Amino acid sequence: MTKLQAKQTEILVEAGKKPKGELSEANALVAQDKVSLLDAKTTLETSYLTLTQLLYLGNEDVKNFDVSDDVSFMMTDVLNKSVSEIYDAALEFLPSIKGEELRIKSQEYSVKMAKGAYSPQLSFGASYGNGYYYTQGGANLSFADQFAKNNNFGLNFSLYIPIFDRMSTPNAIKRSKLTLDQQSDQLETAKNNLRKEIQNAYVNAYMAQQKIQLAEANLQASEEAFNYQSEKYEAGAATLYELNESKNRYTSAKLSQVQAKFNYLFRTRILSYYNGELRF
């Protein structure tokens, strides 16, 4: 764009519509834009390198790495859903919530186990014995006969009914219930924090959507103003400074529009995650 301005300035200078000094200014602007372009390319390559390092890509993968300009696949209608709908969807799969729910179930079983100490305990036992003896110089039965005749059996039953156990069972139940209450409080805290996160994410995504509309309107107005200023410059009714200022506003508007678009995509992807559309 600056090169085109310089070419137009050269034509106007040759036609006597502009002083030669403006051609020097136009060439200086071209040189300045070249430096800015080089800086932008350096920033881009550095960003690519940082991204590949974060992805732990190998040398061959780094060489072939690229980022697609097509972001249409990232567009989503998640803002058509309410905060409550997204919140309900998040409750169904978020590990932080599921983990708290499982801990509550585990503690509920712990309470039941503690209460089980109140139940009577019945135990049963059985015993068996046999023996062999030998009398020196006396009449002795054979080993087989003794094994058959010296059997003895025993059975025992015991019943334990807890009445007073030094309050260990009631205290154990109280401790288990207290832990259960704490787990329930942690779950409610996690749910409240989740709702706040989704509310904030929703507001950020909505405002990003509004900013896109404003940025696109600003871009259109800046482009029209630049085209009008270009026509005035060609007609000799505007200075190079005025033209360059208009170009800078147009360039800034384009940059703002791109930033607004990607900010919107980023904000809506966060909502999509809470809505269960993104799984890792």
pLDDT digits (tens, 9 = 90+) for 134-173: 676 666 777 677 777 778 888 888 877 777 667 788 888 9
pLDDT digits (tens, 9 = 90+) for 80-110: 999 999 999 999 999 999 999 999 999 999 9
Rounded distance between C-alpha atoms, residue 91 and residue 84, angstroms: 11
pTM comes to 0.69
SS3 244: helix
Domain-wise residue ranges, the chain: 1-67, 71-118+167-280, 120-161
Predicted pLDDT of residue 164: 67
Average pLDDT of the chain? Answer: 84
Sequence-ordered list of residues with C-beta below 8 angstroms from that of 246, at least 6 positions apart, any chain: 222, 225, 226, 229, 230
Which CATH architecture fits 71-118+167-280?
Up-down Bundle (1.20)
Contact 194, 96 (CB under 8 A): yes
pLDDT digits (tens, 9 = 90+) for 13-31: 677 667 777 767 777 777 7
